[in-house]
Structure 1
Amino acid sequence: MSTECPEPGPQGPQGQSLRPGGQGCPPPATPVPWSLPRWRAYVAAAVLCYVNLLNYMNWFIIAGVLLDVQKFFQISDSSAGLLQTVFIGCLLLSAPVFGYLGDRRSRKATLSFGILLWSGAGLSSSFISPPYSWLFFLVRGVVGMGTASYSTIAPTVLGDLFVRDQRTRVLAIFYIFIPVGSGLGYVLGSAVSELTGNWRWALRIMPCLEAVALVLFILLVPDPPRGASEKQGEVAVGGPRSGWCEDVRYLGRNWSFVWSTLGVTAMAFVTGALGFWAPKFLFEARVVHGLQLPCFREPCSSQDSLIFGAMTIVTGIIGVIVGAEAARRYKKVNPRAEPLICASSLLATAPCLYLALVLAPTTLLASYVFLALGELLLSCNWAVVADILLSVVVPRCRGTAEALQITVGHLLGDASSPYLIGLISSALRAGRPDSYLQRFLSLQQSFLSCVFVIALGGSCFLLTALFLDRDQVQAWHPGTGTPDSEDPESQGLLSGTSTPAEDP
């Protein structure tokens, strides 16, 4: 009769029984490090970038056909503005849920469900008749829920496919599609509406593109173990899970995450205010200069929205590339390069934005130049802040961390800044004569609050730099040592090879 081998305990096998013939129990199997061929990783990244493009096109496709939507459903401007509020509100409510699922369940299955959810909701919204405008608002919220899944989980998948320098470059490309997708949402909506004569076809074309994206995602994107790009075997091969409250407490003690999230919130505040109010500000500046007649009857035709949209796309692409490449190169000299670059760009944005505002009544060309420069500097940070989060948070919490950063950034940032800027402007106008000059000056002076907020954001990233080294050590090698960028196992991750462990 043979002797059963005991199950290994927490500290290894509790004694070793002998089989007949003097043979001992075989040693427990060592988990094989997860690896992926380089070409597979880049194909997966390309698919994720394509889906990200469609994700942000969904954010702004309604804005491209907003006047048509208003006429079709017979809704006022305030109700039309509520469409984006419902979209962002549902995104905020569902982001923590998807973050929780992304840390504990299959990320591929969760993302597939999210893509299916937002594409199905978008298609169904194109068949809603005018008496059911409330249903259109509701379905728009469902689209926001679907996009929350992707914004929350997709960066963590990229973080587990690529090692440090490669990850920075890939994230830069991934975040380029935020401004590109936003601009193409405007273009696709308005172009399809003009070509077909029916704005609803814009919502029917998008699901066709998203169906292709879903098939490519299922076939070509793997679901890497959490922490696969770092040497954290206990996490990558299925380490112990933690509760959501425990994850939140950990993130609250992670000062690099806290301060960088506040910096991202400041960026979102200014970006949201510019995206909503800058075209109107530039339109009224042209009226003050006598280059544009005042708008007495809606809809108001203005070229400023198209100019600002094109400016956003171009500065977004250039800014993301420059910021990511600067961070990649400067990290070789200074390990705190990423938060320092973010702080420098935001502190430089403040005077650019100030000059764009104060020079608008005097010289419109200079205002455009400084506004474009400010947007360029803002865009330098989008990929870098994502890399900061992935480097200072342990893999088991990254989905939750992305969700919390998205929630805080949108709630205190671009979800509130347009309303606050408008509120300040209305308060200033209340005590002034009703003229176009005074309307312009009120909006100009309310915009100055953005200068103060963006300077605060730069200060938050300076504080992030103080805690970065400590939090990176805890995230990459909890309690064991320091990060090692030359780790052979990490370097072999993408090539499909790994360094075999030495026999004891």
Structure 2
Amino acid sequence: MANQSELHLSPGDLSGNKQSTTTIPETIIPCTQSESPQAANAWKVLFLLFLANLLNFFDRTIPAIVVEPIRLEWGLSDLQLGLIAGAFTLVYAVAGIPLGRLADRISRKKIMAWGLVVWSGFTALNAVAWNYVSFFMVRMGVGVGEASYAPAANSLISDLFPPEKRSRATGIFMLGLPLGLVLAFFTVGAMITAFDSWRAPFLIAAVPGIILAIAMFFIKEPERGQSEQRKLADDVVANPIRKLLKIPTFFWIILSGVTINFAAYAGNGFLVPLLQRYFEISLTQAALCTGVIVGITGLIGLTAGGWLADKGHQFSPRGRLSVGAVSLVIAALATAGALYFSNHSLVAFVVLFGFGWLAHYNYYTSVYPTIHDIVEPRLRSTAIAVYFAGMYLLGGAFGPIVVGALSDQLAQYHMTLAGQSEMTEVFKAQGLYDAMYLIPVALLLTGLFIWQASRHIIADKEIRTPGQSA
């Protein structure tokens, strides 16, 4: 088929006949039946990957918790606060592509281990930032380190587990996201109180990162394509990014990544200051409430979501994405309801917004395994890196920036509407609250993009593995 990669051998390479040219239509060569489709050390390695993923999200969440102390110390606007998160995600997205390509060619465990060393080191340096610019620059260093991790880790998971178990394996791996958030939101406030400084958590977080990095070097990597009982030829794929972008399902998944990360980073970045300002509670209380909304819900959402997505996959090739699309529509309605109906009730807001966040976690267990289904093993790290580039560059980076900028504008609007000339915390609270309506809009768009992806997945699976089940 036209979309299959081909390996051309020069005349005479296979025989003495100089007039012949041999074309191998498929560069994925079947393995012997004696090979196990699941690696013997799969669960042990997955647990280590989960721990590193937990630390990944713990480290990147600390700035979202210390937002208000930083804002007050350096006199910052919400736009400037959003730019801190934007700087991290911008570098994360750009650095991810070359690091993802590297992970498709060399040892994935070394990529992950050295990445842990880099991001842990820069996390510690955040503790000695002396002004806004220095803090901003160090966060970009953290972004480079963390960009190395997800493409290599996801590629490794696809080789550790067979296709029918990938949603559950991905769900366990992604439990690092909510648990990292829970750990951060439940402990960082206490660290700040104990040490009387917002800088302490950055130093504390760096220690386990170095320990995990050492453990990463001892992982026994499976062969690429092992879980599908295939070995890969040694040829190099020409124009890999162009090839990936020509897969319709992958194109729609990239768009869904933009909108889901817009919502996720806007929510995770501004929920703590929103709760502090609008509901007038302390930093520790706001962090705990946010931990429930974005963390505890993830433990349920990813566990149940992995099971639902795998069941959907067994029922239909479109099943995983159908589960994701429905879940995202529910998430959009619930988060919009939290903003519209809470009426200054903290309990109502936490329950409704938390339910929406629980539903949104089904995105990860639906979409991540689908990427493995439609992309050949030797391009999976690159595929994740390209997907993350769109996800973070256009979504994660702009989510906090756009919401922060809109918050400042709406605060000015409420001040003018009230006939006042001096900005107060009340106007800032209302401005941020109104700006958060962008989150349910982004979640609804995500659901629509996933549904579009589901319309193409059957054809894309057949192109990748003609005559076989993906």
Bin for the TM-score computed over the shorter chain: 0.7 to 0.9
With normalisation by structure 2, the TM-score equals 0.83
Q: 1:355 aligns with which of 332, 337, 343?
A: 337
CA contact (8 A) 2:96 2:151 kept: yes
* Aligned residue type for 2:315: V
Q: Which has the larger radius of gyration?
A: 1
Q: Which amino acid aligns with 2:45?
A: A
1:349–1:66 Cα change, 3 Å: closer
Counterpart of 1:230 in structure 2 is: 228
TM-superposed deviation, 1:408:
0.9
For residues 12 and 455 of structure 2, the distance between their equivalents in structure 1, rounded to whole angstroms, comes to 37
Mapped to 1, the partners of 2:68 and 2:406 lie a distance apart of 26
2:236 maps to 1:241: yes
Shift in alpha-carbon separation, 1:355–1:133, aligned structure 2, 3 A: closer
Per-residue Cα deviation, 1:150-177 (whole angstroms, up to 9, x for no partner) = 0222111111111023222111011011
Q: Does 1:216 align with 2:187?
A: no
One-letter amino acid of the counterpart of residue 215, structure 1? I
Residue 425 (structure 2) pairs with residue 432 (structure 1): no
Judged with a 3 Å threshold, the aligned counterparts in structure 2 of structure 1 residues 138 and 363 are, in CA distance, closer, same or farther, namely: closer
Provide the C-alpha distance between the structure 2 equivalents of 1:204 and 1:444, rounded to a whole number of angstroms: 32
1:407 aligns with 2:408: no
AA matched with 1:58: D
RMSD between aligned alpha carbons?
3.2
Q: Match for 2:462 among 470, 473, 479?
A: 473
Q: Which amino acid aligns with 1:346?
A: L
Q: What SS does the aligned partner of 1:482 have?
A: coil
Measure the CA separation in 1 of the matches of 2:164 and 2:335: 31
Q: Is contact 2:276–2:283 with CA below 8 Å preserved after alignment?
A: no
Deviations 1:208-234 (A, max 9, x none): 312221222111x2232322222433x
Residue in 2 aligned with 1:93? 94
Which piece of structure 1 moves more, 453-462 or 114-123?
Answer: 114-123
Match of 1:447 among 436, 460, 463: 436
Partner in structure 2 of residue 120 of structure 1: 121
Alignment of 1:101-250 (within 5 A): 101-126=102-127, 128=128, 130=130, 134-197=133-196, 200-219=199-218, 221-233=219-231, 235=232, 238-243=233-238, 246-250=239-243
For residue 388 of structure 1, what is the aligned residue in structure 2?
370
- Per-residue Cα deviation, 1:98-117 (whole angstroms, up to 9, x for no partner): 11111222222222221222
Q: Which moved more, 1:318-327 or 1:108-117?
A: 108-117
Alpha-carbon distance in structure 2 between the residues aligned to 1:380 and 1:129: 37
Q: CA separation in 2, counterparts of 1:135 and 1:364?
A: 35
Match of 2:27 in 1: none
Following superposition, the deviation at residue 390 of structure 1 comes to 1.2
C-alpha separation in 2, matches of 1:216 and 1:242: 32
Corresponding pairs, count: 440
CA distance in 2 between partners of 1:482 and 1:155 (Å)? 23
Q: Compared with structure 1, are the counterparts of its residues 467 and 424 closer, same or farther at alpha carbon in structure 2 (3 Å cutoff)?
A: same
* Cα offsets for 1:289-344 (capped at 9, x unmatched): xxx49xxxxxx657334212222211111011111101112222222111101110
Contact 1:63 / 1:186 at 8 angstroms: preserved in 2?
A: no
CA deviation profile, 1:337-371 (whole Å, cap 9, x unmatched)? 11101110111222212221211227554333221
Of 257, 263, 270 in structure 2, the residue corresponding to residue 264 of structure 1 is 257
Report if aligned partners of 1:112, 1:218 keep a CA contact under 8 Å in 2: yes
Instruction: Answer with 148-157 or 136-145: which moved more.
Output: 136-145
Aligned to 1:21: none
How far apart, CA to CA, are the structure 1 residues paired with 2:169 and 2:266?
28
Identity of matched residues, %:
25
Q: Deviation per CA, 1:18-54, whole angstroms, max 9, x where unpaired?
A: xxxxxxxxxxxx9767658754121111111111111
Mapped partners of 1:10, 1:195: distance in 2: 73
Change (3 A) 1:361 1:67: closer
Instruction: Tell me the distance in 2 between the aligned counterparts of 1:395 and 1:75.
Output: 48
**1:215-364 matched pairs, under 5 angstroms:** 215-219=214-218, 221-233=219-231, 235=232, 238-243=233-238, 246-283=239-276, 285-286=278-279, 292=280, 301=283, 303-361=285-343
Verify the 8 A CA contact 2:306 2:366 in the aligned structure 1.
yes
Q: Please report how far the alpha carbon of residue 272 of structure 1 lies from its aligned counterpart in structure 2 after TM superposition.
A: 2.0
Are 1:251 and 1:257, in contact at CA under 8 Å, matched by a contact in 2?
Answer: yes
